[in-house]
Structure 1
Amino acid sequence: MEVPSVKSNTIQNLIKKPFMEVILMLAVFGGIFLKLIYFQFITHINGRPVLGSSNLSMLVSSIAAIFLIFSLVFLLSGKRTFGVLIIVDVVLTILFVADILYIRYYTTAITVPVLLALKFLDSVEGSVVSLFSKKDIFLFLDFPFLIALLFVFKQRIHLKANFAKRLIIFAVVLVLSVPAMFISFNKSDLKNGVFDNNQVIKNMGILYFHANDIFHFVKDDLLQSKTMTAEEKKQMEDFYKNKQVLGDKFKGVAKGKNLLIVQVESLQGFAMNKTINGKEVTPNLNKLAKENFYFDNYFYQVKGGNTSDAEFLTNTSLYPINEGAVFLRYPTNVYNTLPKALKERGYTTSSFHAYNPSFWNRSIMYQSLGIQNFISYEDFNLDEFAGWGGYALSDESFFRQSLEKIDTTKPFCSMLITLSSHHPYDYFGEKTNLDVKPYEKTVLGNYLGAINYVDSCIGKLIEDLKKRNLYDNTVVVIYGDHYALPKTQASDLYKLENVEPNNFNWLRLQKVPLIIHIPGVEGGQTISTASAQVDLLPTIANLMDIDFPYAMGQDMFNKKDGFALLRDYSVVTDKYLYDASESKVYNIKDGSPLNIDEYKNEIEKIMHLGKLSDLMIRKNAFKAVKK
């Protein structure tokens, strides 16, 4: 009975106490670090080699995060540090397992909002066994080793450092670790904006991702009341109750028809009807515009969510939030949407995007939007590439394969989100022969070539629809999602448009084309009433005879006083333009300055729409509202 004790004491006598403590700490540290590396690579978020330059920021950030955790435990637990660290190891292991299983199902890690919205965990819960891999046993291999160490060093390890010494050690680790994380962040792809949760994990590690997610959840959700006050509810109710009643032109003319929405990456209005060196940049789109309904004074309204914001606007007729992206910050809210309305009428709702389903958190957000089927790059044959660094499925192949995947046996609502014309508009090779001199080898020149290629793909899409006998039974909506060139790259654009480089002309250029084909209705009309992306849903709803009371936009076939609220709170109307950055008003026709006092009340009323939409999204206003 005394043998184990003797052996244990003998080993402990051979190893001095400080070394015992180091061995125990390194064992836990090594176990957590190896599990973290396993997570990053088994999920295919990071690629080999492990020590490659592309993984450097993740490795540095992850090591710094583990050191921070260890130093915090050491500061707070004192004598019981080793025991607490084992508990931390167990908790992190459970977290890693949960993230791995969730990623295998939804392609992105668990976030606090998703965790609290249990409906997104139900489907995973029933598939845990099938999602678990034999390799995942690796995550638990350190447990027997740590238990063995506890048995060998079964006497409690008492760390003698007092609180002051522990505080100094914690401060030193903090001073070293936090700057290391900042350096890693600045050297990563995230410094220009976060577009994808998986990109955060890839660049900074899973521990940073969860810490960042918790920080924003506390900041945006816990520290701000999510319950609407009586005054806020009244604002919302008054707006919808007092919405202007428009006419009924084209009401129900497309009832029961299919709906195909094509959201074109970076398609901007200035490319339409543009001729360069004797050739049209967009001949197919120009033809479609002449044959159908073309809205040439249609503004984009995206904010921090770019492409995803355009999807949000189209599907909800709400403005995107002023900070960040709705798809990332409020993916589990309740929304009244076009897909939900069509689903209730027997339609199959789908979205097609030949990219990672975790990008912009689509795999989660689409469920809140009521999109039944999400066809991502995993479902396409990646047989041809064009644009976006040479890694994007060509729009030609994307359109062709998408039409093959649509179930046409019953009414459908399908949204096609293109990729080829993504900034910086290169890697087109011989796919376009547009002569773009004198803008050759500039961003604008690359863009014109990219849009020329995409235009040819759209032409083939229309031909394919006709061959499949779908064109005459389908409402086809084609529009651009956001700007083509950032303001910092606009010098050539001003030259192309032959306008002065100023805020007035910049804001006037922030248009995207919108073309609507309505089966059985004679088109050939250009509508120039000022409108924007928030107006698209009520326009489609009117055509399809759908009552949609919670749209913030207006039906563009029936609105008379046109206006567009941009997300920097600038306002464009049929008469004037308000530049929010300078608080100035200009005549929309010639740019001459106007007296802001004469328009102030109207501008504030329009600006209120964006603030009200922000409020309703932050407070999840539709959760308690029945349609």
Structure 2
Amino acid sequence: MKTALQKLRKGLNTKLGFFLLVVLLFGIKSYWAYSTEFNLGVKGSIQHFLLAFNTIPGALVFLGIALYFRGRLSYWLMLIINALLSTWLFANILYYREFSDFITFNVIKGSGAAANNLGKSILGIIRPVDFCVYLDVIILALILLFHVIRVDMRYFKIRYAATITALGFVLFGVNLGMAESNRSQLLTRTFDNNYIVKYLGLQAYTIYDGVKTTSNSVVKARANSDQLKSVRKFLKSNYAAPNVQYEGTLRGKNIFVIHLESLQQFMIDYKQDGQEVMPNLNKLYHSDNTLAFDNFFHEVGQGKTADAEMMLENSLFGLPEGSAMVTDGTTNTFQSAPALLHQKLGYTTASFHGDVPSFWNRDNAYKSFGYQYFFSKGYYPKVKDQELGYGLKDKIFMKESMHYVEQLPQPFYAKLITVTNHYPYIIDKKNESIPAWKTGDDTVDSYVQTAHYLDQSIGEFLDYLDKSGLRQNSVLILYGDHYGISNNHRPAIAQILGKKKINNYDLAMFQKVPFMINAPGLKGGIDHTYGGEIDVLPTLEDLLGISSRHYIQFGQDLLSPQRKQIVPFRNGDWVTNKYTKFNGDYYHTGSGKQIKNPTTKQKKEFAKIQTYVTTDLGLSDKVMNGDLLRFYKLPGFKKTDKKAYTYNFKKSMHKLEKAQKKHKTSVKAENNNQSTYDDYSTDAPELKDQNPSFPKP
């Protein structure tokens, strides 16, 4: 035993021995992080072997760079490179915990557009165990500083260093071959970054993403109008005609789109200790004048809220990496809801958001979408304690937005983006009116409180619509933009749903979000059709009597008898009214029974659905990455001129004043130029003893 330890120490006192120790510890650390911090869906001995094996090639290549240098510098370079790789791993752990995905170059590129208030989110995400990724670096540094291992000053031949580098690339080739045998077409057809990390490791994923990002830039430069042929052929063959019962029934009405931040469908009719958490939304959901969809799913990727807006306004999917609103919102050509409604039906279009205008690049993307007005944080009065997390508290935001809503010439299309029910679900004591959950997961326990607060703000808004008379001539579209509680909180989710344990089917159904359309005289009811955010715009267009037959849109009218009821998720998984595929498992939709040994017929059905999903996502990406809409001449539609729009406060207010004089149809004008703002009642404690003053141009 003593002799073996002596031989081990002797080996570690060589540069190669120390290098192999660094590689080994790095591999162990990476495998630990992959297994415990990421939900990669590793199953079976082969996948576990690949998960451990894929940590080695990248370590040999990157850490091996230090072997090309001499003396002590070589040793410390190993630790510096290890520390840098560990920091990248650490960053991805934090990012994955919130977004269930890995960092991409597009996310980094767009980080400035979504950086506001992220500090609070990171503090809520970080855990002491996360710093274990630096443990090996610290141990190795102490070993060197206290001379437990001697520095080998002998010259390490370049050919030996090159051999190790070559070995790293050879092992990567072996890794890729084994991965392809277990998951064919891994790098060519997958929509899920989890697969890349699971099979090839984080370093390989990062390089793959960098190559793909660069490739996308080249794709846009080389794109041409011929690439639209396959897109138009697919959309034509999958067009779902309007439901004649509903077509055009909402034409000419004002449209309020209420963005219910992070709200999930399970909260509808949810009770805590016998108390309704969302009584106002529940009442609206069950109204005879509300079309409510109980099998409606979010379909966002890394862009989350931005992806939801992209689908809502364009019926185009967000990208598999980053946010399309950030990467393409400024430069791409769009044929969006605001521009369509303004040009075809004469709508005034405006978006309201109580945060900085640059968040998710909205101040640029909205110009591309054709929004005439964007009322952001600078348009609102400054009130003490008015903000939490990502902007104005919902009750304050909703009330103060009406100051501008009442000035919009009717009909108008107004989107109001709430933010209080946003991670990390912060709520102050004076606004708490329901107890937090007690799941033991501090990350999610306050979600019920912020959701209840959101519901209260919606109740106050609905009361105002009744008092001001707006309700009679308005359509309300309310939707949850994405999940609020990520799949990484399984024990808490199980408690919330009243289950002992949850599986992939439960997680798939947990992606449902509320979607409802309310209008006086609308024939409502709870519709069980399966759909998602990509379907909102075609549904709205048909309700307004705008034919979407010739549009480049990837959703289908939710009310159409011809719709396929296929819901693609951004990573290539899907839900239909018959089957569900999630994280590699297949289930019977409805019963939730897992299909472990599918029949030949079922395999063919799965393949057919998968082909549709892959094609739908792929062609949407093709349109986005190639900016193909610049080549498409939509009949009766004039290309949006971004230079014609400004969201400068002074200029916008002068523009709005001029519009009111030209079109005397605003709520304020119809009320003898008297404001209805005081008709809006709120119990927001922040406004109780304050008299907010709106900024003047």
Regarding TM over 0.5, the answer is yes
Secondary structure, aligned partner of 1:287: helix
Alignment-derived partner of residue 196 in structure 1: 111
Change (3 A) 1:616 1:198: closer
Alignment-derived partner of residue 316 in structure 2: 318
**Contact map agreement 1:340 1:370 (CA 8 A) in 2:** yes
Change (3 A) 1:384 1:535: farther
**Contact map agreement 1:300 1:533 (CA 8 A) in 2:** yes
Q: CA deviation digits over 1:564-605, x for unaligned, max 9? A: 1111211111111122x3153434323231444131223312
Alignment-derived partner of residue 590 in structure 1: 592
Alignment-derived partner of residue 141 in structure 1: none
Give 5+ residue unaligned stretches, structure 2: 1-73, 96-102, 119-206, 635-697
Question: What does 1:269-284 correspond to in 2, within 5 Å?
Answer: 269-284=265-280
Q: CA deviation at 1:464?
A: 1.0
Aligned partner of 2:537: which letter? Answer: L
Secondary structure, aligned partner of 2:424: coil
Change (3 A) 1:217 1:362: farther
1:295 and 2:302 equivalent? no
Secondary structure, aligned partner of 1:482: coil
Secondary structure, aligned partner of 2:352: strand
Q: CA deviation at 1:396?
A: 0.5
Q: CA deviation at 1:311?
A: 0.5
Secondary structure, aligned partner of 1:415: strand
Secondary structure, aligned partner of 1:590: coil
CA distance in 2, matches of 1:572, 1:245: 18
Alignment-derived partner of residue 76 in structure 1: none
Q: CA deviation at 1:547?
A: 2.1
Alignment-derived partner of residue 392 in structure 2: 393
CA distance in 2, matches of 1:190, 1:430: 34
Question: What does 1:187-266 correspond to in 2, within 5 Å?
Answer: 192=95, 193=103, 194=107, 196-197=111-112, 219-224=214-219, 226-228=221-223, 232-246=227-241, 247-266=243-262
Aligned partner of 2:415: which letter? Answer: M
Q: CA deviation at 1:519?
A: 2.9
Change (3 A) 1:177 1:222: farther
1:517 and 2:538 equivalent? no
Q: CA deviation digits over 1:9-68, x for unaligned, max 9? A: xxxxxxxxxxxxxxxxxxxxxxxxxxxxxxxxxxxxxxxxxxxxxxxxxxxxxxxxxxxx
CA distance in 1, matches of 2:81, 2:624: 33
Change (3 A) 1:473 1:220: farther
Alignment-derived partner of residue 572 in structure 1: 575
Question: What does 1:174-573 correspond to in 2, within 5 Å?
Answer: 192=95, 193=103, 194=107, 196-197=111-112, 219-224=214-219, 226-228=221-223, 232-246=227-241, 247-291=243-287, 292-331=290-329, 332-344=331-343, 345-383=345-383, 385=385, 388-389=388-389, 392-406=391-405, 407-439=407-439, 442-499=442-499, 500-523=501-524, 525-548=525-548, 549-559=551-561, 561-573=564-576
For normalisation by structure 1, the TM-score amounts to 0.65
The percentage of aligned residue pairs carrying the same residue is: 27
Q: CA deviation at 1:248?
A: 2.1
Aligned partner of 1:277: which letter? Answer: D
Secondary structure, aligned partner of 1:478: strand
CA distance in 2, matches of 1:351, 1:190: 34
Q: CA deviation digits over 1:87-124, x for unaligned, max 9? A: xxxxxxxxxxxxxxxxxxxxxxxxxxxxxxxxxxxxxx
**Contact map agreement 2:297 2:567 (CA 8 A) in 1:** yes
Alignment-derived partner of residue 200 in structure 2: none
**Contact map agreement 2:224 2:628 (CA 8 A) in 1:** no
Secondary structure, aligned partner of 1:451: helix
Secondary structure, aligned partner of 2:633: coil
Change (3 A) 1:606 1:498: same
Change (3 A) 1:383 1:441: farther
State which drifts further: 234-243 or 269-278. 234-243
CA distance in 1, matches of 2:355, 2:93: 18
For normalisation by structure 2, the TM-score amounts to 0.59
Q: CA deviation at 1:551?
A: 2.1
CA distance in 2, matches of 1:441, 1:519: 42
Alignment-derived partner of residue 606 in structure 1: 613
CA distance in 1, matches of 2:82, 2:630: 41
Change (3 A) 1:441 1:494: closer
Change (3 A) 1:220 1:402: farther
Change (3 A) 1:176 1:625: farther
Aligned partner of 1:338: which letter? Answer: A
State which drifts further: 188-197 or 303-312. 188-197
Q: CA deviation digits over 1:395-420, x for unaligned, max 9? A: 00101111211234321111111110
Change (3 A) 1:616 1:475: same
CA distance in 2, matches of 1:274, 1:440: 20
**Contact map agreement 2:577 2:589 (CA 8 A) in 1:** no
CA distance in 1, matches of 2:437, 2:310: 37
Q: CA deviation at 1:445?
A: 2.5
State which drifts further: 192-201 or 326-335. 192-201
Q: CA deviation at 1:319?
A: 1.1
CA distance in 1, matches of 2:225, 2:411: 41
Q: CA deviation digits over 1:240-290, x for unaligned, max 9? A: 322334232211111111111011110001111011101011110000001
Aligned partner of 1:197: which letter? Answer: G
RMSD of aligned C-alpha atoms?
Answer: 3.5
Change (3 A) 1:519 1:590: same
**Contact map agreement 1:539 1:556 (CA 8 A) in 2:** yes
CA distance in 1, matches of 2:469, 2:116: 45
Give 5+ residue unaligned stretches, structure 1: 1-170, 204-211
**Contact map agreement 2:536 2:558 (CA 8 A) in 1:** yes
**Contact map agreement 1:339 1:369 (CA 8 A) in 2:** yes
Q: CA deviation at 1:550?
A: 2.3
Q: CA deviation at 1:293?
A: 1.5
CA distance in 2, matches of 1:303, 1:559: 28
Q: CA deviation digits over 1:433-463, x for unaligned, max 9? A: 2134544773332001110110010000111
**Aligned residue pairs, count:** 450
Aligned partner of 1:505: which letter? Answer: D
Change (3 A) 1:624 1:229: closer
Change (3 A) 1:339 1:177: farther
**Contact map agreement 1:565 1:571 (CA 8 A) in 2:** yes
CA distance in 2, matches of 1:385, 1:201: 17
CA distance in 1, matches of 2:417, 2:625: 26
Secondary structure, aligned partner of 1:488: coil
CA distance in 1, matches of 2:79, 2:357: 36
1:620 and 2:627 equivalent? yes
CA distance in 1, matches of 2:391, 2:629: 36
CA distance in 1, matches of 2:451, 2:230: 42
**Contact map agreement 1:542 1:555 (CA 8 A) in 2:** yes
Aligned partner of 1:234: which letter? Answer: K
Alignment-derived partner of residue 74 in structure 1: none
Secondary structure, aligned partner of 2:478: strand
CA distance in 2, matches of 1:494, 1:545: 43
**Contact map agreement 1:276 1:436 (CA 8 A) in 2:** no
